[in-house]
Amino acid sequence: MKLQRSGFLAGIALTAAIALAACGSDNTSEPAAGGNASGAAASIACASGSLTAQGSTAQANAMSQWIKDYQGQCADAKIDYQGTGSGAGVQAIIAGTADFAGSDSSLKDDEQTQANAKCGAGSTALNIPMVVGPIAVVYNLQGVDGLQLDAPTLAKIFAGKITKWNDPAIASQNSGASLPDQPIGTVHRSDESGTTDNFTKYLSKAAASDWTFGNAKAWKAPGGTGAKGSDGVANAVKSTPGSLAYVEKSFMDNSGLQGAKLKNGAGEYTELTPDSAGKGIAGAKVTGTGNNLKLDIDYNATTPGAWPAVLTTYEIVCDKGSSKAALLKSFFTYTSSAAGQASLTDLGYAPLPAELLTKVQAAVASIS
């Protein structure tokens, strides 16, 4: 009798499992629903096949949007991008397990050598800047709008040398604002991230004397609060009055946090907009050779209206000899098209500036 009962239970479980297995979908049949008419309207030169890719989480949102739009038009293509982290992406391209990788920093010399070797004779692993993610400085302080900060002050705050909101260094830049006698709670990423790397790079270049921790993907300064992922950081700032942090612009937009204005190389306090972010990257120098577009961003650029703290993420891909070259080329042609870039602005990214975009398109065209 008891045996029957347990058998009965197992039967129910089994039936439930089968019933469940019968009706599930991956949302694949959905065409590009909601979001962007411009992307859907642009005609895409489709290619077929499947791509597996992984890497930077900073561009994961951009990728999922692009993949959705691309697959919506090209039914024969299947692209899978896993946000595993830049390091994992680079490792995957060196090991040959990914068709392309997303990375927040361009390949280092030894990585470039290894990747070239894996790509095959005469082929280079290209670093193609594709997504520009401005880094916002967000804060949670009642009654203070449009906080203005320059890089040395920001560096001192994050280094723990300025601890109160009403510190003279902050007050002198924000005349008229009623700054409270409240401690500043800085929030940083507890996991390693390209955002931290780029933000600390900005601090170390723009405020060299005040930021002594160098730049790295791990947060090296003492104190503050750690939170996992940009979302964790945004959440922590939102729930903690008196806190200050850095996140990608999309997270600032999604969470509805206030963003501070930063002083750029031209000496003006700039608000973060897609436009100012684009100007921030326009001054970047290309250090790679040929179509290998490694960028060196000038954080002290004197371009008027430029947002100084920007992050560029690259796609790393072999330029020749890939069996999937047609699909890679087709996909990147779409992502580097004006429509592809425009579809990202809602997501908190900035479009590539025109001059750089031409170079990127040329690099994509060289894939064969």
Partner 1 sequence: MGDYPSRSDNAFAGGTGVTGRHARSAGTGVSPSSYQEPPIGGGGALPQKARFSMESGFRGLSVAAGAMVLVIIVAIAVFLISKAIPAINADHENFLTFKTWFPNDAQPRFGILALGFGTVLTSVIALIMAVPVALGIALFLSHYAPKRLATPLGFAIDLLAAVPSVVFGLWGRDVFLEPVREFSGWLNHYFSWIPLFGGDGPFGRSILLGSIVLAIMVLPIVTSLSREVFQQTPGMNEEAALALGATKWEMIRTSVLPYGKPGVIAAVMLGLGRALGETIALALTLGAVFSISPNIIQNGGNSIAANIANAFGEANATGRGALIASGLVLFAITLVVNIAARAIIHRRREFRDSAA
Partner 2 sequence: MSLLNQTDADVVMTPQNIRTKKLPVAVNLLVAVVALGIGFALTYGASIGTWVLAVVIALILYLVGIAVVAGRIEGRRAARNRMWQALIYAACVLAIIPLASVVWTLISKGASRLDANFFNTSMNNISARDPNGGAYHAIIGTLEQVGIAALLAIPLGVLGAIYLVEYGKGKFANTVRFFVDVMTGIPSIVAGLFVLSFWVLIVSPWFNDGEPRFSGFAASLALTVLMLPTIVRSTEEMLRLVPGPLREGAYALGVPQWKTITKVVLPTALPGIVTGVMLAIARAAGETAPVLLVAGGAAAINFDPFNGNQQSLSLFVYQQAGDASRYAPARAWTAALTLVAIVLILTIAAKMLARRNKLTR
Contacts of 142 (CB under 8 A, 6+ apart): 241
Provide the pairing of β-strand 77-82 with 49-55.
Answer: parallel
Instruction: For residue 189, give the 3-state DSSP assignment.
Output: strand
- The span of 118-126, 151-159, 177-185, 251-259 binding partner 2 (CB under 8 A) equals 251-259
Q: Which position among 20, 43, 222, 239 is part of the footprint of partner 2 (CB under 8 A)?
A: 20
CA proximity to 243, closest of 208, 255, 203: 255
- The span of 62-70, 100-108, 196-204, 272-280 binding partner 2 (CB under 8 A) equals 62-70
Question: How far apart are CB 133 and partner 2 at their closest, in Å?
Answer: 12
Is 240 one of the binding residues for partner 2 (CB under 8 A)?
A: no
* x-marked contacts with partner 2 along 84-103 as a string, rule CB under 8 A: -----------x-x------
Using CB under 8 A, list all residues that contact partner 1: 84-88, 91, 183, 185, 190-193, 216-218, 220, 222-228, 236, 239-243
Q: Which position among 76, 268, 346, 355 is part of the footprint of partner 2 (CB under 8 A)?
A: 346
224 interacts with, out of partner 1, partner 2, none, CB within 5 to 8 A per kind: partner 1
Measured CA to CA, the distance from residue 152 to residue 156 in angstroms comes to 6
Q: Which position among 42, 64, 167, 266 is part of the footprint of partner 2 (CB under 8 A)?
A: 64
Choice between 26 and 109, CB closer to partner 1: 109
267 interacts with, out of partner 1, partner 2, none, CB within 5 to 8 A per kind: none
Which residues on neighbouring strands pair with residue 317, listed in sequence order? 126
Provide the pairing of β-strand 49-55 with 243-248.
Answer: unpaired
- 205 alpha-carbon distance from chain centroid: 20
Q: Which pairs count as long-range contacts for 322-325, CB under 8 Å and 24+ apart, including other chains?
A: 322/99, 322/119, 322/367, 324/49, 324/51, 324/99, 325/367, 325/368
Is 6 one of the binding residues for partner 2 (CB under 8 A)?
A: yes
- The span of 32-40, 120-128, 131-139, 140-148 binding partner 2 (CB under 8 A) equals 32-40
Question: How far apart are CB 218 and partner 1 at their closest, in Å?
Answer: 5
CA proximity to 205, closest of 218, 215, 217, 219: 215
Tokens of 295: 């960028």
Per the document, the length of the chain is: 368
The alpha carbon dihedral of 115, 118, 122, 124 has a sign of negative
Binding site for partner 2 (CB under 8 A): 2-3, 5-6, 9, 17, 20-21, 23-28, 30, 33-35, 61, 64-65, 67-68, 71, 80, 82, 95, 97, 228-232, 234, 250-251, 254-255, 346-347
